[in-house]
Structure 1
Amino acid sequence: MLINCLAVGSGGFIGSVLRYLVGCIPVLTKGSVPFHTLLVNVLGAIFIGLIVGCSEKYISVDGELMLFLKVGLCGGFTTFSTFALESVGLIDSGRLATAILYIAASVLLCVVGIYLGRNLVVR
């Protein structure tokens, strides 16, 4: 259990630092789309897809390394990558209706959650 926690924690440290560094990239179109967050989410989704794809097709990855990469590194970089992976897993397992419900509920509830949390503090 301690090794698993260290794997997740060290991956999370690296992922969080990488997320911060992506946020430091100068953006030409300020004020339009949250470019840094979009970039982080897309890169995280691509990376977690590569990790899972490689581990399924080419190499067997041990549990600690998978925790480091998926939960730690990708989770520290963006939890959206995990959300996307879980959504694809539902679709791949033939549970399309559940996937659609999960995607819609996640987006809607998280946006509403931001409004609720922010308004609870501000007012």
Structure 2
Amino acid sequence: MWRTLLLVAVGGGIGSALRYLTSVFVGKCFAGSLPVATFLANLIGCFAIGLLMGYFLKTQTDDSQMRFLLVTGFCGGYTTFSAFAFENVTLIQQHNYTAAFGYIALSVVLGLAAVWCGLVLNR
């Protein structure tokens, strides 16, 4: 259990640091009121989870340690559902309903598509 916890923590730390760098970079490129950095991080994270899980399923690799490091840790640290929820509540409180519901719809639809693409690339 301690080894698994360490793997999740290391993966999560790396994912969180990369998430921060994504915010910094995207913030410089797309200044505005729309939460582009969270949107991109969640899509990239969905794609990465699809790609990784597709690989594990395709190769029938039962390397749970790598899954804890990469999927639970890294992808969990990189993606940001709590930030996504907060940003949508903020948009709704600002009466920016079109942006909020567009963001929600696009995140869900494109997130599912990104996972599917990651899985397909492993076929």
Task: Please state which band the TM-score falls in when normalised by the shorter chain.
Answer: 0.5 to 0.7
CA distance in 1, matches of 2:46, 2:21: 18
CA distance in 1, matches of 2:30, 2:67: 36
Partner letter of residue 2 of structure 2?
L
1:38-53 alignment runs, 5 A limit: 38-53=39-54
The structure having more radius of gyration, on CA atoms, is: 1
Residue matched to 1:13: 13
Ranked by relative contact order (alpha carbons within 8 Å, sequence separation 6 or more), the top structure is 2
TM-score by length of 1: 0.61
Partner letter of residue 66 of structure 1?
R
Residue matched to 1:56: 57
Residue matched to 1:71: 72
Question: Aligned-pair RMSD on alpha carbons?
Answer: 2.5
Partner letter of residue 50 of structure 2?
G
- Give the aligned length: 87
CA distance in 1, matches of 2:64, 2:80: 19
Shift of 1:69: 0.7
Shift of 1:61: 4.2
TM-score by length of 2: 0.61
Percentage of identical aligned residues: 39
Q: Answer whether contact 2:41 2:80 (CA < 8 A) is retained.
A: no
What secondary structure does 1:31 align onto? coil
Partner letter of residue 36 of structure 2?
F
Q: Deviations over 1:24-65 (max 9, x none)?
A: 115444224211101100000000000000111135141111
CA distance in 2, matches of 1:44, 1:61: 21
Can you give the 5+ residue segments of structure 1 that lack an aligned partner in the other structure? 81-106, 116-123
Residue matched to 1:22: 22
Can you give the 5+ residue segments of structure 2 that lack an aligned partner in the other structure? 91-123
Residue matched to 1:97: none
